[in-house]
Structure formats: structure tokens, C-alpha cells
Amino acid sequence: MLVLKELTVLNGVSGNEEAVRDYIKEKISPYVDDIKVDPIGNLIAYKKGKSQDSVVMLAAHMDEVGFIVTGYNDMGMLKFESIGGVDDRILPGKPVTIGDKKIPGVIGAKAIHLQERDEIGNVWKIKNMYIDIGASSKEEAEKLAPLGEYISFYGEFEEYGSNCIKAKALDDRVGCAVLMEVLKGSYEFDLYACFTVQEEIGLRGAEVAANRVKPDIAIVIEGTTCSDVPETEKHQYSTKLGKGPAITLMDRGTYPDRKLVNYIYDLARKNDIEVQFKQTATGGNDSAKIQRSGKGVKVAVISIPCRYIHSPASIMNKNDFENCKKLLSCILNDLSNNPENLNKILKGDEVNV
């Protein structure tokens, strides 16, 4: 849990993932045979297989949604745009940090008692909001927060009750943490763990990482929507907190390989690991680019349910996280010890676990 805490506290908005990359690189170095940073910033860790030729790729993205400084107003406040999908409605009144020095700021807009009647019931768009860092002039603001500086949500890592964690950037530091854990194992096949960049702005890193790695099979670990909350119809829950890591059947970007998906589900059941299926087909992730890279890759996606995803206060269940790590280890060990299973998946045959 410490690794996850340290990861979520780091700022790594799409295009500015250095801090996260440096942290992960340092932590995984003792366990891997080679580490590369590619031309657009992906961190690609390689573990040579003991005996097999097959290539397995794991992917989790290092970037989080955030903002960027686009201008200033005369009072020295920052104009900004979002990077990645951010719901404008959650922004007013949130604290943020700017740049590597983590200069604190607050997202402001007109206060309630000064609003016109027709403004009160409506939401603010980003263009009506600004970030106040307390600068007294445009020049001071420019020095502290130059154009193009990246801005992150501010959110502390906290334990909620006995089972839950609240933090920012669980999407997808949970994936990074899971990958870092399984890199400690050893496997018969060549394993590439790709910590990708710029997923939130269009799955950019995954596309080039997959072109370089050319995997046979890829598994993506994500943080995904969890809407098992009031005012939501049961059939729109997507995933449920505490019911285990969620396996994707289909999302807007990918129709994962069904034989691989069935194999993962059966393996989970056989090993008493609680799992669920993601029950909505929304969203997309790195698997979309990986699946269609080169001559094609068999892919699957396993996600940890996170309520209030893409906000500074996301909530996840610790058991889901632990079970995800267990499940991925289980899959890698099974493929390693039973190469005929891996071959069956590559051939498109059913696997009996």
C-alpha cells in the first residue's frame, strides 16, 4: 500500500510523467534485466524468459488527468485547459498544485452570493473559471507558473474505514503498482512491463510501446469506473466496489479476445479469487491500440473499480487491489508453468484450466 500511496502523491499529468517514471524506474531496477525510455517517454521494463520465445506485454499508464496553464488575467490569475477527460462540474472550489515545485492554487469562480439568478442553477464552464495562486500581478504569475506549466489536482492519500483508500490518480497508479509487484516474479516467457504515457489524451504511449515490443499477448491493468452509488440504475453500475477486479467484456475501444477472457475468469474461479465482469461497454484504454498494433495482439483488460474516477478524491477497495495483484500473478505463473495454455490462446483454442 506504501508504493500506491507514494505513486498517487506524485504529479504526472499526461505529457509530464517524469516524476512517476523516475520513481518506478528506481523501484523496479533490481528486478528486471533491462529498462528503456522510448522517444515519447514510455518506460519499458524487460525480463528475459527462462526458456520460452513467447512475448507477454503488461501495460499500465503513468499519466493522470489534469490541467495546463494557457494564459493569465490582469489580476494575476491563471487561465487553464484540462488535459484528459475532466468533468467541469467537479472543478469549482478544488485545490490544485502547479509545476514541479507544487505551487498551491485554488480553482475559483464567482462566489454564490454575487451570482445572477440565472447563473445560480447552471454549471460553470472552464472558460469561466481561473486558478488563483495569490499572485498580485500578471508578471508575478508568469514567473511562478509559466505558459504550458502542468497543473494537478491536490489530493491526499487516506484510508477510509477498514477496507478503502481515497486518493487522486488511482487511475492508473493502481495499475502501475500491480505491474511493479508482478515484476518481482520470474517467468519462462519474455515479459515486457510497459508503463505508458499520454493514455488519457488518446492512448498515445501504448501505440508506440506495442510497436516496439511486438507482443503475442497483452494484459492491461486499469482503474475503471465504479458507479454502484445512489441515483444509479442497477444495470448501469459498471462495476461494484469490493466485488473483485473487473474483467472487460467489451468497451468502446476494444473487444478483448474472448478465449483469453474466459481463461482469466476460469483461472480466477479455480484459485478462489473474487472477480466480476465490467457490465457497461463505456470507456477505452491502452488495449485498443495494443490489440491493433502490427499484425494484431490478443488482449485482455483487468481493472480495479474506482468510484469518482478522474477526480481528486477517488475511492477504491483494498481487497480489489490485492485480488488484482493475486490474479495477475496467477495468470503469469500459470502461463509460465503451462506453456500449452499460452499456445492454445495464441491458436484461438479454448483452455481448460
Partner 1 sequence: MFELLAKLTNAFGVSGDEEITKNTIAEEIKGYADDISVDALGNLIALKKGKGKKKIMVSTHMDEIGLMATFIDDKGYIRFTNIGGVSPFCSIGQRVRFKNGTVGVVYYEEKLDDIKKLNLSKMYIDIGSVNREETEKHVKIGDTACFCGDAVKQGDFAISKAMDNRTGCAVAIEALKELKDPENDIYFVFTVQEELGLRGAKTAAYGIDPDISITIDVTSTGDKPECNPMEVKLGAGPAIKIKDSSVVCHPEIRKLLEASAKKLGIPYQLEILNMGGTDAGAIHLTKGGVPSGAISIPCRYIHTPAEMVSLKDMENAVKLLVDAISY
Partner 2 sequence: MELSKITSILKELSSADSVTGNEYNVSKILEDHFKTFCDMVRVDKFGNVIGIKKGSESGKKVMITAHYDEIGFIVTSIDEDGFIRFSNMGGIDRKILPAQEVIIYGKEKVYGVIGAKPPHLLNPEDTKKAIEIKDLFIDTGMSPEEVRQVISIGDFIAFKPAFFELQSGQVSSKSFDNKCSIVAMLVAMEELSKIKHDCDVYFVATVQEEIHLTGATIASYNIAPDLAIVLDVCGGTTPDTPKEKTASCGKGPVIAKGPILDKKFTEKLIQTAKDENIPYQILIEPSYTGTEAWAVQVSRCGIPTLLISIPLKYMHTPVETINVNDVRNCGKLAARFITSFGNTDANTDNKNEPKLEECTC
Say if CB 12 and CB 63 are below 8 A apart. Answer: yes
Query: Which of partner 2, partner 1, none sits in contact with 71, Cβ below 5 to 8 A by type?
Result: partner 2
Query: Which of partner 2, partner 1, none sits in contact with 41, Cβ below 5 to 8 A by type?
Result: partner 2
> Smaller CB distance to partner 1: residue 85 or 348?
348
> Smaller CB distance to partner 2: residue 195 or 263?
195
Q: Cα 279 vs. chain centroid, distance in angstroms?
A: 19
CA distances from 152 to 42, 67, 79, 148, 171 (A): 20, 6, 14, 13, 13
Query: Which of partner 1, partner 2, none sits in contact with 287, Cβ below 5 to 8 A by type?
Result: none
The interaxial angle of helices 170-182 and 318-337, nearest 10 deg, is 40
Q: Nearest distance from residue 197's CB to partner 2, in Å?
A: 8
Q: Nearest distance from residue 295's CB to partner 2, in Å?
A: 11
Distance between CA atoms of 30 and 228, rounded to whole angstroms? Answer: 40
User: Which residues sit at the interface with partner 2, rule CB under 8 A?
Assistant: 13-16, 34-42, 68-71, 79, 81-84, 127, 147-148, 198, 201-202, 204, 207-208, 211-212, 214, 294
Say if CB 223 and CB 175 are below 8 A apart. Answer: yes
Residue 301 main-chain phi, psi, to 5 deg: -125, 130
> Smaller CB distance to partner 2: residue 34 or 159?
34
Query: Which of partner 1, partner 2, none sits in contact with 127, Cβ below 5 to 8 A by type?
Result: partner 2
Q: Nearest distance from residue 157's CB to partner 2, in Å?
A: 25
Angle value at C-alpha 254, between 194 and 321, nearest 5 degrees = 55
Say if CB 301 and CB 287 are below 8 A apart. Answer: yes
Active site residue 199: yes
- Per annotation, catalytic residue among 17, 149, 188, 199: 199
> Smaller CB distance to partner 2: residue 36 or 269?
36
Say if CB 84 and CB 14 are below 8 A apart. Answer: yes
User: Which residues sit at the interface with partner 1, rule CB under 8 A?
Assistant: 216, 233-236, 249-250, 255, 258, 261, 277, 279-281, 291-298, 346, 348
Q: Nearest distance from residue 146's CB to partner 2, in Å?
A: 9
Angle value at C-alpha 314, between 279 and 228, nearest 5 degrees = 35
Which amino acid is residue 79, in one-letter code?
K
Give the active site residues.
Answer: 199
